[in-house]
């Protein structure tokens, strides 16, 4: 088959995108932009067209933006059939069909899996059902939580001090609410940035009036006779009276619907190659099933070729565009997804950003500013090269460090600090928790070199 004939064939047929959020929308737009003229079906479990999630834990909770006003801007008309409000329930790769929860099936020639993640629920369903217990992931979650926070409650409990939990705590303080944060790790953000940076986040939260309890777990949520939350019990034997509990224990990747399909999918995501083509359980790459966004895990040459799962807005866009491009072009024209991870969070008046993969780092130095003044740049090293950087109100440096990571620059950095104060260039252990223990913190998850990771299982602890 000639190249021109092959390209023409790939630009026709039926493409189904499962996941009608950021990655799914950007993939659909790219498909149309690059000449796909066939039928396009978008499947989403929520009843809404794609919307932006980052404002839900910030502006929307503060009442500065309505959740219904967070719809993602359209770059172009995608001319698609939208199947919203119905989840995908199964995949038959032999028949090339997606089975929906309402019993319908949707046929495809090529499939993009972009089902993303959902908030990890509280471990005890009867306690999770109490009035006043929330998670925060969707538009509806944000609407309901904002309504509760502004209804005259006096104290909020946040369970988990990762990025989302810390942002919720920040919103509570800005709204004038008393807030307790219970974190099973030694400090906030420890899973994402390590204990050295976590200590700075700890000081920041306490200085803003947060009742921060680290090294403890919530063992039970207690309700009153009317089914309303009234108290939480902690592993240290103490109890906290609270009318609202926000469960911020990380994300669960939406892969259960792929069980039995033969796709290499599990708790850490759907395994795909650098071109976004999905692996089967035997490690054989497919040509008709692709993955993109938070649900995908793929190897990256800059990070020891380990599979990475990235919960990043920018990664979802970049990977979706590359997946769409590769779905409709000949093999020689396909391109790899080699995006350097970036993440940002705004909390307690500080803009926190990172680039690279901090959890891969085995050493850390502060190259600008000071940890004690909450304005700094910290650089992570791995096997003698720069692997990541994190900043508190120092985002102007991230472009430089992104170039250092891509170039494999040596660590410790050979240059002198621009703004030397109390820290030196003497490397220290970044103090990450044991990677084999479950944690809600990382926005980048390293998951080894095998596409079929079947051993990962989250085991909740009550201690």
DSSP assignment of 61-114 equals HHTSS-GGG-BPPPSS----EEEES--EEEEETTTTEEEETTS-EEE-SEEEE-
Q: What is the pLDDT of residue 449?
A: 64
The continuous run of DSSP H or E covering 178 comes out as: strand 178-183
Identify which of 396, 394, 398 has the alpha carbon closest to the alpha carbon of residue 423: 394
- What distance, in Å, lies between the first and last C-alpha atoms of the chain? 62
Q: What is the pLDDT of residue 431?
A: 92
Q: What is the pLDDT of residues 414-444, one digit of tens each?
A: 765 555 554 556 899 999 987 665 555 556 6
Q: What is the pLDDT of residues 61-82, one digit of tens each?
A: 988 888 888 899 898 999 999 9
Q: What is the pLDDT of residue 11?
A: 77
Name the phi and psi angles at 62, rounded to 5.
-80, -10
By the 8 A CB rule, do 48 and 83 touch?
A: no
Is the full-model pTM beyond 0.85? yes
Strand partners, 179: 156
Strand partners, 182: 159, 213
Pairing verdict, β 14-18 and 110-113: parallel
Q: What is the pLDDT of residue 174?
A: 96
* Alpha carbon distance 317, 334 (integer Å): 17
By the 8 A CB rule, do 83 and 44 touch?
A: yes
| Burial annotation 17-48 (CB, 10 A radius, 16+ → b, else e) | bbbbbbbbbbbbbbbbeeebeebbbbbbbbeb
Is 50 strand, coil or helix? coil
Give 366-370's long-range contacts (Cβ < 8 A, gap of 24+).
366/423, 367/413, 367/417, 367/418, 367/425, 368/394, 368/397, 368/417, 368/418, 368/419, 369/394, 369/419, 369/421, 369/423, 370/421, 370/422, 370/423
* Alpha carbon distance 289, 331 (integer Å): 14
* Alpha carbon distance 46, 138 (integer Å): 9
Q: What is the pLDDT of residue 438?
A: 54
* Alpha carbon distance 372, 350 (integer Å): 14
Q: Determine if residue 227 is left, alpha or beta; phi over 0 gives left, psi from -120 to 50 gives alpha, anything else beta.
A: left
* Alpha carbon distance 161, 179 (integer Å): 12
Q: What is the pLDDT of residue 303?
A: 78
* Alpha carbon distance 316, 21 (integer Å): 10
By the 8 A CB rule, do 362 and 304 touch?
A: no
By the 8 A CB rule, do 180 and 157 touch?
A: yes
Low-confidence ranges of the chain (pLDDT < 70): 1-4, 6-7, 415-425, 435-450, 453-463
Q: Which residue has the tokens 């993955």?
A: 291
The continuous run of DSSP H or E covering 325 comes out as: helix 313-327
> What does the angle CA 333 – CA 334 – CA 338 come to, to the nearest 5 degrees?
135
Separation of CA 132 from chain center:
25
Q: Which residue has the tokens 């850490």?
A: 268
Strand partners, 296: 270
Q: What is the pLDDT of residue 413?
A: 85
Q: What is the pLDDT of residue 187?
A: 95
Identify which of 388, 378, 370, 386 has the alpha carbon closest to the alpha carbon of residue 442: 388
Identify which of 126, 159, 150, 3 has the alpha carbon closest to the alpha carbon of residue 63: 150
């Amino acid at each position: 088959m000639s190249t021109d004939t092959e390209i023409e064939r790939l630009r026709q047929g039926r493409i189904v995108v499962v996941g009608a959020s950021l990655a799914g929308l950007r993939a659909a737009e790219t498909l149309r932009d690059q000449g796909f003229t066939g039928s396009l079906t978008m499947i989403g479990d929520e009843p809404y067209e794609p919307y932006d999630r980052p404002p839900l834990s910030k502006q929307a909770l503060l009442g500065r933006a309505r959740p219904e006003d967070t719809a993602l801007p359209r770059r172009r008309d995608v001319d698609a059939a939208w199947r919203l409000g119905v989840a995908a329930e199964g995949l038959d790769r032999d028949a090339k069909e997606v089975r929906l929860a309402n019993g319908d099936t949707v046929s495809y020639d090529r499939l993009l899996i972009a089902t993303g993640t959902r908030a990890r629920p509280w471990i005890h369903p009867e306690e999770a059902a109490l009035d006043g217990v929330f998670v925060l992931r969707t538009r509806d979650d944000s609407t309901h939580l904002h309504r509760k926070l502004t209804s005259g409650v006096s104290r909020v409990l946040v369970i988990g001090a990762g990025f989302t939990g810390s942002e919720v705590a920040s919103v509570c303080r800005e709204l004038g609410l008393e807030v307790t944060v219970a974190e099973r790790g030694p400090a906030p953000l420890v899973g994402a940035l390590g204990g050295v940076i976590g200590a700075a986040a700890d000081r920041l939260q306490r200085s803003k009036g947060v009742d921060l309890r680290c090294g403890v777990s919530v063992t039970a949520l207690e309700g009153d006779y009317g089914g309303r939350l009234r108290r939480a019990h902690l592993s240290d034997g103490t109890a906290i009276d609270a009318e609202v509990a926000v469960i911020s224990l990380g994300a669960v990747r939406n892969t259960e619907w792929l069980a039995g399909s033969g796709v290499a999918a599990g708790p850490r995501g759907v395994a795909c190659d650098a071109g976004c083509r999905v692996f089967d359980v035997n490690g054989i790459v497919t040509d008709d099933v692709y993955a993109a966004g938070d649900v995908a895990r793929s190897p990256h040459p800059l990070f020891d070729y380990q599979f990475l799962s990235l919960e990043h807005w920018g990664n979802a866009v970049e990977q979706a565009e590359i997946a769409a491009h590769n779905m409709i072009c000949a093999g020689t024209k396909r391109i790899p997804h080699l995006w350097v991870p970036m993440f940002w969070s705004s909390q307690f008046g500080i803009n926190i950003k990172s680039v690279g993969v901090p959890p891969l780092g085995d050493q850390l130095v502060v190259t600008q500013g000071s940890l004690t003044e909450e304005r700094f740049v910290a650089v992570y090293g791995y096997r003698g090269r720069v692997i990541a950087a994190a900043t508190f109100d120092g985002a102007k440096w991230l472009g430089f460090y992104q170039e250092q990571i891509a170039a494999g620059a040596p660590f410790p950095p050979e240059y002198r600090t621009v703004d030397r104060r109390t820290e030196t260039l003497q490397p220290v252990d970044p103090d990450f928790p044991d990677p084999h223990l479950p944690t809600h913190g990382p926005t980048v998850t390293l998951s080894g070199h095998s596409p079929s990771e079947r051993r990962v299982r989250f085991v909740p602890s009550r201690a």
